[in-house]
Chain A
């Protein structure tokens, strides 16, 4: 088996440009690695083997196109991106056999850039979860320890990259669903600013929170992916008109350029000792290198879990009303009453966590509770966004942990949904505010499991954020590969 799957996306792009290997060599390497590792990690819901091999062959026959920045590079997309010719399940039984009649803008742009989409990756059903345990097709395992969760909801994407199945992936982040699995699997994950990447053709969860973004093995890889998929799209009214920056030609930063704010409300959490040790070590490395770290107060973050779960659930209950057993998706057979058809199709084919969030969302939007919960949460959202704005006035970026605990054993929290929601405290405030965030590996804990750090920036400053990420990567210890055969 060739070892090209070891390469970063940028290294592979360089190798293709220099003619050291072809698109087919790369795709074959990743598909072979996928076959070898998939039985243990179960990261993919659909593998597009024949299609990707045929496409890679055709790319090699036509010859490299320097106008296509992802030419010949094997990537995956989370199974919420509609892709013609393959199922799009969103990890749900209700979409088990759904084949969309249209393609997501992200998928179109990846293809236009020459990428080879080799698989669609696993996720918590409708991206509702932080462990992939809520996928209707079974959980994905963390390549660093197969008895632990990979995080979620883009857990398949993160595990797949960590295992060497693909060089980069597209995921989505509604409350941390790119950054947290990236951290738990030792990858790099970018949640761009809300509106930076089109949501057209992405199965909706919380429409004011969802944002698509890349996961990869380095910040430079994320920059390469972002440059291909970001930018205005007339088919998504919430996609920003703002032109994209150049993410690929960045001037290297100096430590003295960097002032990082540490939100007290996040750093005062109750950390598992192995996580705390890695975070402390990382802070020491940064300060020794000359980076300025200063504490900042963001008092409204303490309300963020409650505000987020009200708003996200409200949007979910509205978005998921479309699954009615009539136009597409699962339909319970033999029903002679329309309401009965709705009730039984939805109850049977939506999983418990999804139903829980629909119930919560329906409640907070219902007459008599709307002002007390939904409107109140939206007001708190404004306060949280203001906290970010103020905190970022005096520093370049905010630096925070991604998860207070290491990847946890399967089943540890499934009977306690509120605790699971509270574990999202580090990541979800940023989705409420809308800004960009980059999750990077900070090191390995004493238990041999990855620990992540995140940088959060001002709206549309992805270039600055990625540049800072590249600087951090040079300082922080490389974590290597998971012990996976």
Chain B
């Protein structure tokens, strides 16, 4: 049974906090979550025994290409420019050890 505790566990996995602002603006996020997951139970009525799952409807996909680096001068610098914090040519994160 889904409840606030299990919703919190899922939020933990998603690296999200269940914050109060959600309940002010959009109804209670846990209640909504429980209601939406409850609706999904309609799928129990679908006859899917022996049915192959369809994960992506691609037709005539690109064949894999050779794993070779391509030169894009200056691209690394441009990507690093987008980092909110960096140290030299590295992305900076808080200490983890």
Interface residues of A (CB under 8 A from B): 98-99, 101-102, 193-195, 207-208, 232-234, 236-242, 300, 302-303, 305-307, 309-310, 317, 321, 324-331, 335-344, 346-347, 350, 352-353, 355-356, 358-364, 366, 373, 375-383, 385, 414-418, 421, 432-434, 459-460
Contact = CB atoms under 8 A, between A and B. Distances in A.
Contacts of B37: 360, 363
Chain B contact patch, size range: 35 or more
Interface in B16-72: 16-17, 19, 21-22, 25-27, 29, 32-33, 35-37, 39-40, 42-43, 45-48, 51-65
A341 B62 contact: no
B29 A241 contact: no
Contacts, number: 198
Interface of B: 7, 10-11, 13-17, 19, 21-22, 25-27, 29, 32-33, 35-37, 39-40, 42-43, 45-48, 51-65, 75, 78-79, 81-85, 91, 93-96
A306 B16 contact: no
B43 A380 contact: yes
A329 B84 contact: yes
Nearest to B79: A101
16 contacts: A241-B63, A309-B36, A321-B15, A324-B15, A343-B17, A346-B15, A352-B25, A352-B29, A376-B48, A378-B54, A381-B54, A382-B52, A383-B51, A418-B39, A421-B36, A432-B54
Name the prevailing secondary structure of the B interface residues.
Answer: loop
Given A234-B65, A417-B26, A378 B46 contact: no
A356 B33 contact: yes
Contacts of B19: 347
A147 to B, nearest CB: 20
A306 B81 CA distance: 41
Contact of A101 (B32, B46, B57, B75): B75
Given A336-B94, A459-B59, A306 B13 contact: no
Nearest to B27: A415
A242 B60 CA distance: 7
Contact of A418 (B13, B25, B35): B35
Which of the listed residues A242, A309, A364, A377 has the most CB atoms from chain B within 10 Å of its own CB?
A377
B71 to A, nearest CB: 14
Contacts of A415: 26-27
